[in-house]
Amino acid sequence: MFVAYVTVTILASVFNGIAAVTYLIGHDYPKAQADMKRVPRSWVPVLGLLLAAGSAGLLAGFAVPLLGILAAAGLVLYFVGALLAHLRVGSRQLVGWAVFFSTAVAALIVNLSYHR
């Protein structure tokens, strides 16, 4: 169980950390996604900070388990919000969302399972 916990947690942290960097450096992709979902561009850095906090929280969970659990739960909620944003504008481009959501859910499951 320990190997699964570490692997999934690191994988989810890396995925979300890379996404956070693209949001925070002003890459065109997050801006295009914000435009497509009719989300103000001023939210892009805030969303990037939320992803960065989730990524860092997952890693901090190795030292303080509650932080890892809360970070994983926060990422799950973040991606539920992302799904709602997609559906609100009729977007059916959900493959990327599904990958990120799945890793967040997996991180939450392994954190809860390992720390019980």
Tens of pLDDT along the chain (116 residues) come to 899 999 999 999 999 999 999 999 999 999 999 999 999 999 999 999 999 999 999 999 999 999 999 999 999 999 999 999 999 999 999 999 999 999 999 999 999 999 98
Has this prediction a pTM greater than 0.85?
yes
Domain that holds residue 50: 2-114
- CA of 60: how far to CAs of 28, 39, 44, in Å? 30, 30, 24
Structural domains of the chain, count:
1
